[in-house]
Copies of this chain bind each other. A is one copy, B any other.
């Protein structure tokens, strides 16, 4: 917060003051938002559609480090990761609520920055911030976001709808967010030890993937335009391996992913090499890419083929075949979900 010369204590503003301050910056744009901030609850008109609800909690020291993530980026990302879950249902996000736990080391100006980021994400995705809760925290910053979306019942896509031989398709490229994190952690360690300024030039793409990810609203629109209806879908928050296994288990199937098909950006690839990491492993287990992973019927292959935003990385198999990764030599390895479990042990 070195760029924040003034510091206003939260206690000077008080509860009413803080809520008013937040409310004054929020403009409702969704016709479905009947009532926003300022009552016991927000009110939504579902307009005849089904509602989807998803929630995520981000904790300082676990999900983010304010040593390198700005509060603006953090606010943006906190909203986007929830919208990504709504898109993964093939639904349109419309509202978010925000619960904050703030320690008194945060001045009002810091809360403003956080909301600026959240409100920019809301604006970019056409979503309303309709409510929340603000509390003291004894420890670090805690951000809880709930996103609500809407869809026609028949449009919803679940994890459990994949069929045997369906193709497994991923949007964008993978592993970038993880490599961005590696660069940030390295530069932080160098700074801590030597005081040297971070050297981030040339890493813009992977840093943006980590610090300011986007949800793939465009892919949902693209699929609709192509008239391709996924049979199952999930967003990639924990890594390709983990999410592919989720789809397989939910659908009662096995899954096979081809190592050489996994889309990896050259910047991600090169940075992984510089860190002596295997780029494929980073793409499989890195997580936080917020790309969409979905299955389509083989009959839809011609429609997605050659689209630069979509890559077929494998296909669904029978359950007995398990979860397999096929390497360039044709060797099969068991696919494992590493993201969260390793993470819990670490903390």
Contact = CB atoms under 8 A, between A and B. Distances in A.
Given A14-B341, A41-B149, A139 B136 contact: no
A294 B10 CA distance: 30
Contact of A138 (B59, B89, B95): B59
Given A45-B153, A135-B59, A135-B63, A148 B53 contact: yes
A87 B15 CA distance: 22
A285 to B, nearest CB: 13
Given A53-B95, A54-B131, A133-B55, A156 B10 contact: no
Count of identical protomers in the assembly = 2
Interface string A33-71: 011001111111110111111111111111100000000
A344 interface: yes
Interface string A227-246: 00000011100100000000
Nearest to A148: B53
A88 interface: yes
B95 A57 contact: no
Contacts of A104: 344, 347
Which of A41, A98, A250 has the most chain B CB atoms closer than 10 A to its own CB?
A41
B40 A138 contact: no
A55 B14 CA distance: 20
A268 interface: no
Given A41-B88, A89-B43, A142 B341 contact: no
Contact of A55 (B85, B140, B144): B144
Contacts of A347: 103-104, 136-138
Interface in A121-177: 130-133, 135-140, 142, 144, 146-149, 153, 156, 158-160
Given A59-B135, A138-B61, A340-B15, A85 B40 contact: yes
B132 A40 contact: no
A289 to B, nearest CB: 15
B46 A52 contact: no
Contacts of A46: 46, 49-51
A330 to B, nearest CB: 29
A86 interface: yes
A101 interface: yes
A250 B156 CA distance: 38
Given A45-B50, A51-B51, A138-B61, A40 B235 contact: yes
Given A35-B158, A159-B39, A135 B57 contact: yes
A347 to B, nearest CB: 4
Which of A38, A39, A63, A101 has the most chain B CB atoms closer than 10 A to its own CB?
A39
A157 to B, nearest CB: 9
A288 to B, nearest CB: 13
Given A41-B147, A43-B89, A57-B100, 9 more contacts: A11-B345, A41-B53, A42-B54, A46-B50, A54-B131, A55-B132, A60-B138, A61-B138, A103-B347
